[in-house]
Amino acid sequence: RGPHFAPSIGVAKLVGLTFFVVAAGPAGIESAVNAAGGALPALACMVLVPLVYCLPMALLSSELSSKYARTGGVIEWCQTLGKNVGAVNGYLHFFYNIIDNALYPSCCCDYLSRIEPFQALSGGIPRVLFSLFLFCLSAVLNCMGLELVGTSALVFTTLVLLPFLAFMFLGLPSVTWAGLTSLPTDGNTVGASYILPVGVGVCVQPDTNMWYDGAFIDISRLLPTASNGWLALLLTLSGVLSSFGILQAAIGCTGRELYAMAALKHLPFSKPLLKLHRTWGTKGQTEDSAVPVVAIITQALLSSPFVFFQFEYLLGLDGLFTSLTLLLEVVAYINLRMQSRRLSGSDGDLYVGLLDSEADHSTPFISREERERVIEGLEDEVEGYVVPYGILGTIVVCLPLVVVSVAQSLSGGLLNILVILVLMALGLGVYHINIRTGGSAAEADVVLV
């Protein structure tokens, strides 16, 4: 909604941003070795999760984002399901973003408190103040433009990965066939292809009880050439940059989602959120390159108070919100496929998404004239990616996502589910009050400052 922001960053910077949105490095994966019951189950998860969960999610997101190529992203995807469902989806993401953003300053503090001069960040007022400082810093960077955020993400990606490359290189002498095929403490076996940092680390420290959050830092001290702690320090700083990189990318993305909610009039007092500013790096350019500064700052402010909440409680809510938003995205994807018109041709099946939610669906067939017009103007009528193989492709994409989301929702706890239901009811009520008191579900005006 509003202007379609121009692609103002190149592929390399986009890769850097994507890295932090998706993975942000090996830091934090250590406890999976212990929680999974050993190295073999942890390795199996690392292999299966990208295939069973990440790949279907990427395919679904690719098609939806290319069909609904608007600034709001996931906020826009569910609008075709109706205004009420669109509002519920918006508020699910609204509360999810607030909670999710609050997790990463805590992770930064956990890593930084391992360094002796910063041990005060392990708790209390110093931890809270530093967390608030991180919110301010990430908001300022995002307000200065996407170009700067992309550049910093690319630099952070390099700095995050280099210490782990050093860890793997220095740990290679410890890698033996016996180390890769057995673990003395629990008898689990590991495949010969276990060559990632976890694989090297298991050979250096086979005791899975010693695998906890931040274990890479302590395991690095067991390496003969890093026993004095120089690599431990670099891995600690890598963890700090990893967490801050996620926060920086998240504030930029969620700030734009807040902007989209304002454009859809999901929020009261939304007019200030629609202001776009030409900031550093966007001077002299069109409004396509402007930044929703007010929305970004507001998003950071909304997340800041949650640094006072218990990390484990926020993490539980975060997982539940994730599963519910994913279920709605699956429904939106199925709705897109159901709205698609099938064209048969010599080159195979072609699906054309009906982007206009108010399009006439009464005609079940496409006339010859319309078919010829679509084929002649194919580039204009069909934009972006379409998951292949028709119904089979839809099932392959949706089924694992539904299974994972339902399982995670059922494990979220009754109290958390009730909290989310109350929040959704309040959000839907606010939306209807806003509409009745002068708001409109139509696209709102954007002010360029």
Instruction: For residue 345, list its beta bridge partners.
Output: 348
pLDDT at 342: 44
DSSP tag of 277:
B
Average pLDDT (206-216) is: 78
Lowest-pLDDT range, 3-7, 209-213, 278-282? Answer: 3-7
Sign of the dihedral through C-alpha 160, 165, 166, 171 = positive
Residues ≥6 apart with Cβ < 8 Å to 155: 16
**Integer-rounded Cα radius of gyration of the chain:** 24
Encoding tokens for residue 231?
A: 């690599």
pLDDT at 411: 78
Band (38; pLDDT cuts 50, 70, 90) = low
Distances in Å between the Cα of 282 and the Cα atoms of 69, 141, 145, 279, 449 are: 22, 13, 7, 5, 12
Q: Say yes or no to pLDDT of 297 above 90.
A: yes
3-state secondary structure of 28: coil
pLDDT at 107: 87
Closest CA to 65 of 337, 305, 386: 386
Q: Say yes or no to pLDDT of 133 above 90.
A: yes
Cβ atoms within 10 A of the Cβ of 95, count?
Answer: 19
For residues 285 and 289, give the distance between their C-alpha atoms in angstroms, rounded to a whole number.
6
Q: Say yes or no to pLDDT of 46 above 90.
A: no
Buried residues in 135-152 as b, exposed as e (16+ CB within 10 A): beebbebbbbbbbbbbbb
Contact 414, 317 (CB under 8 A): no
Greater confidence, 114 or 192? 114
Q: For residue 295, how far is the Cα from the chain centroid?
A: 18
Contact 180, 203 (CB under 8 A): yes
Lowest-pLDDT range, 61-70, 173-182, 240-249, 308-317? Answer: 173-182
For residues 119 and 108, give the distance between their C-alpha atoms in angstroms, rounded to a whole number.
12
Task: Provide, rounded to the nearest whole percent, the portion of the chain with pLDDT above 70.
Answer: 77
Cβ atoms within 10 A of the Cβ of 386, count?
Answer: 21
Q: Say yes or no to pLDDT of 12 above 80.
A: yes
Cβ atoms within 10 A of the Cβ of 311, count?
Answer: 13
Q: Say yes or no to pLDDT of 135 above 90.
A: yes
Mean of the per-residue pLDDT values of the chain:
77
H or E, element range at 3: none
Q: Say yes or no to pLDDT of 170 above 70.
A: yes
Residue 406 CA neighbour count, 13 Å, CB half = 7
Q: Say yes or no to pLDDT of 213 above 80.
A: no
Band (176; pLDDT cuts 50, 70, 90) = low
Encoding tokens for residue 101?
A: 């953003």
Average pLDDT (121-131) is: 87
3-state secondary structure of 275: strand
For residues 286 and 106, give the distance between their C-alpha atoms in angstroms, rounded to a whole number.
38
Band (132; pLDDT cuts 50, 70, 90) = very high
Alpha helices in 269-339 (DSSP H): 293-303, 311-339
DSSP tag of 412:
S
φ and ψ at 345, to 5 degrees?
-150, 180
Band (79; pLDDT cuts 50, 70, 90) = confident
Task: Provide, rounded to the nearest whole percent, the portion of the chain with pLDDT above 90.
Answer: 14
Band (139; pLDDT cuts 50, 70, 90) = very high
pLDDT at 136: 94
Cβ atoms within 10 A of the Cβ of 117, count?
Answer: 7
In which residue are the tokens 């003969």 written?
224
pLDDT at 195: 46
DSSP assignments along 205-253, one per residue: ---GGG--TTHHHHHHTTSGGGTTSHHHHHHHHHHHHHHHHHHHHHHHH
pLDDT at 299: 92
Q: Say yes or no to pLDDT of 378 above 50.
A: no
Cβ atoms within 10 A of the Cβ of 26, count?
Answer: 22
Q: Say yes or no to pLDDT of 357 above 80.
A: no
Q: Say yes or no to pLDDT of 39 above 70.
A: no
